[in-house]
Amino acid sequence: MIALSVVAAGVVVVFGIGSVRWVAREGAPVLYGLPGGAWSAGGVLGLVTLLGWGGALSERLESRTAAAGSGKASRMLRRVARGACWVAAVAPGYFLISGLPGKNCQSDAPGCSYVAGTGPALLVYVGCVATVGWLTYRWRRAVLEERRARERERLRKLRKKGKGKSRAARQA
């Protein structure tokens, strides 16, 4: 049973990567031709990646669906949701990389040529992911540090009143 699952997963990966690459090479010129061009496409794909990472790594997704129940259906729903978030996190980068020239193929083959607009889109994508990701990281760290400071202050006030001591310390 496990061997059959591994073979099925391998087939899905091989055909999935090939078909996604084909769709990306055919769809990229259309996407880059929209208003705003490759620059806005790179920014939007960068935001999709960040939202996907946020969902994939979020404990909220786990806790919200876990509160609904712990049956098989809810566990399956959590796995599907987490998988969709991982796909949303990885797919835009793969889409952009698919527009770059192939490494080991003839230069005259249509599947190996450079898709016009991929360079600027990739540049904006990396810039967007790096900048917004760094700002989000800094914001989350500031929120956590503020919570820690409030907790330290609360414990300090309790100790000042004599209520922050353990029972053994109060009895002695």
pLDDT tens per residue, range 119-159: 899 999 999 999 998 998 899 899 999 999 999 998 888 87
Cβ contact 112:101 at 8 Å: yes
Position 2 pLDDT exceeds 60:
yes
* pTM of the entire predicted model: 0.72
Query: Tokens representing 62?
Result: 């786990």
Q: Which of 41, 36, 51 is nearest to 87 (CA)?
A: 51
Alpha-helical runs (H) found in 69-113: 72-97
CA distance 92 to 94: 5
- What are the CA-CA distances from residue 48 to residues 94, 103, 149, 161 (Å)? 13, 27, 33, 50
